[in-house]
Each structure stands twice: as structure tokens, then as C-alpha cells.
């Protein structure tokens, strides 16, 4: 009986250990895409990334296209051989005088648009998809965040 119980515990530990590793690996790939994909700074209209967040109100100033949920705008982990964590930043496009160019997105965004045809977009006050949030239906734009104006820390699809 003890041997069966011990074998079961070892098996469960192995299964859950693999699941935890797989989810961490998946998160690393997602963070890598949000950080490094050329889609992040393409013109928002043709970008494959369907969420666009802007530095200024009215979808003005610098922007960033986001394709996947972001647990914490200040700590994206690209994975692989890079153990670091990096902030997601607004794109530097053309002239460096664009308001917000190169600034961190966390606590600096004022507006956004959701170009996805199916999913709602949520910008959260706190990291980890918590706290007050502004929610955009598919195809919706928010010219000035109501709940997370310059106080935004994470993003999720719903």
C-alpha cells in the first residue's frame, strides 16, 4: 500500500512538474513575441497583432501593437538563453519627437483600440490581470481610458 501511494505521488509530481514547465515555456514564447516580433511596431492597420495601445488620448502619439496577453508590462521574459525581464515600450517610429517614443507602457498609456473580430480586450490597473479595468469589445476604440488612464499594468484577451 505504501509503495502504491509513493508511486502515485511521484507520478503526480512528474505530471504537474511537466505541466508547470510547459506553461512557463509557453509564457516565454508569448512574451518573446510581444517583445521582439516586427508586428509590434508595424502600422496598426495591417499588423497581425490586433490590440493597439497609445501613449496619448485619441489614439495619438507613440503606440505598440500587442498580440498576446501581458501579465506585467514591466517584466516580459523572452526565455531561451535570456534569463532577463524587460519592460514593453512604445515604438520609436520615424522622428524621435513622437510623444511617448521609447517610454515604458506600464502606467503611461492613455488610449487603445481593439481590432480583433472575436475577442474583448482588457487593460488592467494592476499586474496579473487584476484591479479596475477598461474593456473593449471587438472593433471598439477607447479615446481615453476611464479606469486605467496612465495607471495600467497588464493586458488580457477575453
According to the model, what pLDDT value does residue 7 have? 37
With H, G, I as helix, E, B as strand and everything else as coil, classify residue 158. Answer: coil
What's the pLDDT score for residue 62?
96
By CB atoms closer than 10 A (0-12, 13-18, 19+), residue 143 is middle
Q: How far is CA 43 from CA 38, 46, 51, 93, 134, in A?
A: 10, 6, 12, 9, 23
Distance CA 111, CA 62 (A): 11
Question: 5: which 3 cell numbers?
Answer: 501511494
C-alpha span between 11 and 50 (Å, rounded): 41
How many Cβ atoms from other residues are within 10 Å of residue 15's Cβ? Answer: 10
- Tens of pLDDT, residue by residue, the chain (158 residues): 444 433 333 333 333 333 333 355 577 789 999 999 999 999 998 999 999 999 999 999 999 999 999 999 999 999 888 899 999 999 998 766 799 999 999 999 999 999 999 999 999 999 999 999 999 999 999 999 999 999 999 999 99
Amino acid at each position: 500500500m505504501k509503495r502504491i501511494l509513493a508511486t502515485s505521488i511521484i507520478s503526480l509530481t512528474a505530471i504537474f512538474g511537466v505541466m508547470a514547465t510547459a506553461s512557463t515555456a509557453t509564457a516565454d514564447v508569448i512574451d518573446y513575441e510581444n517583445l521582439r516580433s516586427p508586428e509590434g511596431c508595424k502600422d496598426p492597420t495591417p499588423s497581425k497583432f490586433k490590440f493597439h495601445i497609445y501613449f496619448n488620448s485619441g489614439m495619438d502619439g507613440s503606440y505598440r501593437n500587442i498580440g498576446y496577453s501581458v501579465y506585467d508590462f514591466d517584466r516580459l521574459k523572452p526565455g531561451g538563453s535570456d534569463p532577463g525581464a524587460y519592460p514593453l515600450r512604445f515604438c520609436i517610429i520615424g522622428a524621435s519627437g513622437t510623444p511617448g517614443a521609447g517610454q515604458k507602457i506600464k502606467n503611461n498609456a492613455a488610449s487603445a483600440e481593439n481590432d480583433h473580430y472575436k475577442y474583448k480586450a482588457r487593460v488592467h490597473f494592476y499586474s496579473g490581470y487584476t484591479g479596475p479595468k477598461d474593456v473593449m469589445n471587438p472593433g471598439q476604440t477607447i479615446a481615453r481610458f476611464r479606469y486605467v488612464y496612465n495607471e495600467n499594468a497588464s493586458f488580457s484577451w477575453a
